[in-house]
Chain A
Amino acid sequence: GAGVSQSPSNKVTEKGKDVELRCDPISGHTALYWYRQSLGQGLEFLIYFQGNSAPDKSGLPSDRFSAERTGGSVSTLTIQRTQQEDSAVYLCASSSPLRDRTEAFFGQGTRLTVV
Chain B
Amino acid sequence: QKEVEQNSGPLSVPEGAIASLNCTYSDRGSQSFFWYRQYSGKSPELIMFIYSNGDKEDGRFTAQLNKASQYVSLLIRDSQPSDSATYLCAVTGTASKLTFGTGTRLQVTL
Contact = CB atoms under 8 A, between A and B. Distances in A.
| Real binding pair | yes
Interface of A: 31, 33, 35, 42-43, 45, 48, 50, 55-56, 91, 93, 95, 99-100, 102-109
Contacts, number: 53
B68 interface: no
Nearest to A97: B96
Interface string B3-37: 00000100000000000000000000001101000
A33 B96 contact: no
Contacts of A45: 99-100
6 contacts: A31-B96, A33-B98, A42-B103, A43-B44, A45-B99, A105-B46
A31 B43 contact: no
A55 B100 contact: no
A108 B43 contact: yes
Nearest to A106: B43
Most buried by A among B31, B86, B100: B100
Nearest to A30: B96
Contact of B32 (A48, A50, A100): A100
